[in-house]
Structure 1
């Protein structure tokens, strides 16, 4: 389907399904934007205030000591932003406590909505799930819970699948979106504008990359940051949409963790290809040690039949189509947040 027709369908469906309000804005648009920028800075700046969190050629961001320090910084930043948001909503905007909980996506919410959202992202990632679970045989570890245990027992896993999703969705969805709702930004603007704060917040990784890879071309760092900005913004569009549709913070936290776990889908190449033993007779390893003329790197590759690859790409396409058609039905909820339609 052409992009223009896709956007027309999106606009029609959005106008059909999302609620609108006619009340005067409680917050000004400039206040909502200013606070969003402040929250983004509060989240990022502390990383550069301490030698324990500041990136450097000697300190990897994946070092346990760095992760622990950054977790403490992120926790403080998230709590500070949460407190400031509650103050603004209650004291300045006069929003009632029960309405604040609803706007923040904390209560009430539906676990069924959460399950439906996770089903939706599983449909989108049907192809990668098939590759990881069936082709690569990972389903056994999933059933046993072994992979979850291994991942969450490491500081990197704790950061990527717990602290990152919780803190990022709290800031860029739970806190920033309500401000834009009260400022009467349209639903489409909230979906396509607020994730840009989220995307920009990841641009600082360019600086980190240059510090840790000083000999890499600058263009490589720029392209890497641009790519990261693109896919974080794309996820942000989806997360903002789901948040407005369900008013459920838990849903997007779990969806965020799932997407971090899956990574980007494969868009080219064969599935089930594994590097095997070096080409040659069984005693090649022994001869390699004795013969300095051995050319390293000549490996034979074992792969699944080409049919597995055909099935993978068929499922990948089917998953994308299924996601498109189930986007609205699976995010239908009685807990949706009120937004203003149109260009306001």
Structure 2
């Protein structure tokens, strides 16, 4: 009985470090393309005269993307290799697991705060960080449907569909590093639909295209980071929390630096540089798969 147990244990250990089973590239890419189209289409299925920030529009879109979140896992279950679904539970395949969850919550979040060290220092010297200690701020935020959209619903739906459901498929056709650079392309191009929204608000075509191209660039870059976190940690919660934090911070307001006194401006610029360099140095260290008990997705 002990010999059998040891044998099973050895087989389990060997299985945990095997490369992911393979599925055809056309299958994984087609599934991801369909999911991208379905996600964007779900935002426009409603016939409404209101803009995207109107509460009625926001609530309807909440419902639409929730339906997409129910549909997306079916693609993973249907088109994944049976060997993968035997190796891990379906929840684990989607990055929904308890093992390693504490470091998955804390480490990527702290790492991203380091990346935003400069903007955070600007907020500290402007004393705008004090509002986060105010309970009224949080009560008001959770009553604000736009805040909920930007910090809860958008991150959770986008990360679930574009990371938790797309990455397992792409990782079965490509190496982890290649997958990290492929899936964000679906995420970035999914934001092109904002061109139509801007045109409907009366914006000139050229301006709408320029802004949307800029948005495409930074959403794709963020997608690289988010996909990397999912593959390295094997957790959905890591990219979700980082996405919510990045939505809160927004793009750094570099113009704010030039409103500071010279000495303070130099110190803040140094914070920007130190934060970025520190993030680059610590990224591979703080995302070691072993920290998160991730033996499924990062076998390189």
Superposition TM-score, scaled by structure 1 size? 0.76
Cα distance in 1 for partners of 2:17, 2:199 equals 46
The answer to whether structure 1 residue 61 and structure 2 residue 52 are counterparts is yes
* Deviation of the 1:124 alpha carbon: 0.3
The equivalent residue for 1:264 is 251
> Cα deviation per residue 1:260-292 (whole Å; 9 max; x = unaligned)?
000011334536x5xxxxxxxxxxxxxxxxxxx
User: In structure 2, do the counterparts of structure 1 residues 226 and 82 end up closer, same or farther at CA, with 3 Å as the change threshold?
Assistant: same
The equivalent residue for 2:212 is 225
* Deviation of the 1:136 alpha carbon: 1.4
Which SS does the other structure have where 1:241 is aligned?
helix
* Deviation of the 1:97 alpha carbon: 8.0
* Higher helix fraction (1 or 2): 2
The equivalent residue for 2:9 is none
Query: Mean alpha-carbon deviation: is it higher for 315-324 or for 94-103?
Result: 94-103
User: In structure 2, do the counterparts of structure 1 residues 223 and 158 end up closer, same or farther at CA, with 3 Å as the change threshold?
Assistant: same
User: In structure 2, do the counterparts of structure 1 residues 23 and 178 end up closer, same or farther at CA, with 3 Å as the change threshold?
Assistant: closer
The answer to whether structure 1 residue 324 and structure 2 residue 280 are counterparts is yes
User: In structure 2, do the counterparts of structure 1 residues 22 and 84 end up closer, same or farther at CA, with 3 Å as the change threshold?
Assistant: closer
User: In structure 2, do the counterparts of structure 1 residues 242 and 22 end up closer, same or farther at CA, with 3 Å as the change threshold?
Assistant: closer
List alignment gaps of at least 5 residues for structure 2.
1-15
Query: Is the CA contact (8 Å cut-off) linking 1:109 and 1:247 kept in structure 2?
Result: no
Structure 2 residue corresponding to 1:246, chosen from 233, 236, 261: 233
Query: Is the CA contact (8 Å cut-off) linking 1:113 and 1:251 kept in structure 2?
Result: yes
How does 1:114-133 map onto structure 2 within 5 Å? 114-132=105-123
Query: Is the CA contact (8 Å cut-off) linking 2:50 and 2:57 kept in structure 1?
Result: yes
Following TM superposition, the consecutive aligned residue runs of length 4 or more in structure 1 with deviations greater than 6 angstroms are: none
Query: Is the CA contact (8 Å cut-off) linking 1:21 and 1:339 kept in structure 2?
Result: no
How does 1:31-110 map onto structure 2 within 5 Å? 31-52=27-48, 58-89=49-80, 95-96=85-86, 98-107=88-97, 108-110=99-101
Which SS does the other structure have where 2:46 is aligned?
coil
Cα distance in 2 for partners of 1:318, 1:64 equals 41
Cα distance in 2 for partners of 1:49, 1:138 equals 39
* Deviation of the 1:114 alpha carbon: 1.9
Structure 1 residue corresponding to 2:103, chosen from 87, 109, 112: 112
Which SS does the other structure have where 1:264 is aligned?
coil
List alignment gaps of at least 5 residues for structure 1.
1-18, 53-57, 274-303
* Deviation of the 1:248 alpha carbon: 1.0
Cα distance in 1 for partners of 2:86, 2:198 equals 44
The equivalent residue for 2:127 is 137
Superposition TM-score, scaled by structure 2 size? 0.87
User: In structure 2, do the counterparts of structure 1 residues 240 and 80 end up closer, same or farther at CA, with 3 Å as the change threshold?
Assistant: same
* Deviation of the 1:135 alpha carbon: 1.8
Cα distance in 2 for partners of 1:93, 1:34 equals 21
Query: Is the CA contact (8 Å cut-off) linking 1:86 and 1:100 kept in structure 2?
Result: yes
How does 1:180-219 map onto structure 2 within 5 Å? 180-183=170-173, 185-213=174-202, 216-219=203-206
The equivalent residue for 1:310 is 266
Query: Is the CA contact (8 Å cut-off) linking 1:89 and 1:100 kept in structure 2?
Result: no
Cα distance in 1 for partners of 2:287, 2:19 equals 24
* Deviation of the 1:21 alpha carbon: 4.3
Larger of the two Rg values belongs to structure: 1
